Chain A
Amino acid sequence: MSDSTIQHHEESRDVTFRVHRFNPQVDSKPYFDDYTIRLEKGITVLRAINYIKEHVDSSLTFRAFCQAGICGSCAMRINGMSKLACTTQVWDELDKAREPGVIKVEPLRNLPHIKDLVVEMDPLVGKMQKYSNWVDSKMPEEQWGKKEFLVSEEEFLAYDKATDCILCASCVSECTILRAHKEYVSPAVLLKSYRMNVDSRDSIHDQRLAGLVQDHGVWDCTHCYRCQETCVKNIPIMDAIHGIREDAIERRGTKDTSGARHAEAFMEDIEKKGKLVEATLPIRTNGLAWTLKNLLPMAFKMVMKRRTPPPPPLVKASKGIDALRKEFKEMTSHVGKDHEKKSGE
């Protein structure tokens, strides 16, 4: 029987919480404190650190409120993964611990650190404001309270899951691109923008979308799916991000941003050759000047190693390309009919 299985069957045991500590008024750099306490099976990480604060070290600082997975205040990294302390069982974490019996607790990443397990949420709130993530009502103010909006079930289902977000910032903490650039819009903000943009009561859809396609916006997401995988409410965040992209292409066309041009190239090439024509992808995405400046310095090495993608005439079309083209066209007419039907409703 492995160590972890033994742990799982024990009703009570000593557990060590290795907690990230940092008080900027006193400490020159962060450090870890170990707190070992006797716990019973069934206890959550939040109750355990509450116990530490009340009985062992009152200086330990963290945020928490509802203790029921609703308010989103107690998100922190537990054994390296961002999640809610109040819905995380200590015994489950013991199974995942790298060092037997030790659970590592750290603050969220990608947000400024304030003290111990507390991070600054203002940058996230600021981005929610920047992208106007609220319903700006279509209804004239004089009709407020006198008239109702009717929302169809189909429309409600489009944003039902997105409204489950409790703004805990776990996805923000795990985001690859936000880690690489702090200006990036971030997954929670994109999710909220999607939710507002599919709401028929809202009047600023186009303005919000215009902001989302700018630099550090929706096209900078690298499809790593870490946000979706970490979401404490199991919201398919990538569906929302893809939803914004689909909407951007539909409403704004495929020429206005490098992200849209890049995505459109796949569609073009599949119809033409059944294959991606990689050699011209950088030019079609960013233009000739960008390509020369950014890729020419690498090209020499690539040519020497015979690693350059073949020029378009040498990209052999897939076998059966004629059939694929016909099928592609037929589907294009289906999509056209779908759009007519949708706009007729």
Chain B
Amino acid sequence: MYAQMVKSTGKGVQSRNEMSPEDRAFQDRIDRGEKIEPKDYMPPSYRKTLIRQIGQHAHSEIVGQLPEGNWITRAPTLERKANLLAKVQDEAGHGLYLYCAAETLGVSRDELVEMLHSERMKYSSIFNYPTLTWADMGAVGWLVDGAAIMNQVPLQRTSYGPYARAMVRICKEESFHQRQGYHIMIRMAKEGTDDQKRMAQDALNRFWYPALMMFGPSDKDSVHSAQSMAWRIKINTNDELRQKFVDETVPQAEFLGLSIPDENLRWNEETGHYDFSEPDWSEFFDVISGNGPCNAERLSARRKAWEDGAWVRDAMLAHARKAQNKSKAAE
């Protein structure tokens, strides 16, 4: 999931008796499946949790451009380069849709950016892993975008109108991302040379567990889920989505002739699902709290882009104001 550890109240679900009449009416609207719009009443904790969640989601799209941006200049063909550019441009667009959705809750764009840069807001742990070879572009599209889609499709039905509408646009565009990644994997793993097959397997080995971590901690350790689910800003539990992802991805790996790096992986006839090993959660908590292989690099790239772009932002604003004053003076 692009928003992996969103704090809500941390106290479990508020019962109806504890709610003020306003909050009860609000919960009734959500239970009826109504959408909450920016000017409608909402409990402060709903607003705050949503700002965290949408902000984290937006930051993930923006930071998510970096591991792939790394390969634009080194794509093997002009066509692949055009594909990758379009994908990375989409990520920028998705970040912008989501920032705007967050801004309808009363936080400004500058505040959001500032919170990312000062590490007061998080982004998905997945983008703190390096992309070492071209096969990683295949694995990222296939697994990372695949996991993101799995999370984002249900969010199209989320209770907050602007967020739901942003998710509809994003889901429409994202399917191409996963398919272009899988296409790269087909070329390398099925049709490629022995070296390319090894690269494809290596990419799967490195991205498998980080992809499983994208859905967030195991349900038993997920203290904020229940309240978020009552508010319908989270639709499925982390473990439900992770299972769904494994069930869909394993046959895709088999088609490629690649093996999932998990010796406990097997089809369970009784449950109708695959059994699989959980990722190393201590690694996850390490990466999400800032100590992954690329955290420092990603954040410094974002800060540099922001600082280097400051003069452009200022100059454009100054120019616009000057032009406005001129036309006012001429009136």
Q: A and B: partners?
A: no
Where the two chains meet, the residues of B that have a C-beta atom closer than 8 Å to any C-beta of A are none
Where the two chains meet, the residues of A that have a C-beta atom closer than 8 Å to any C-beta of B are none
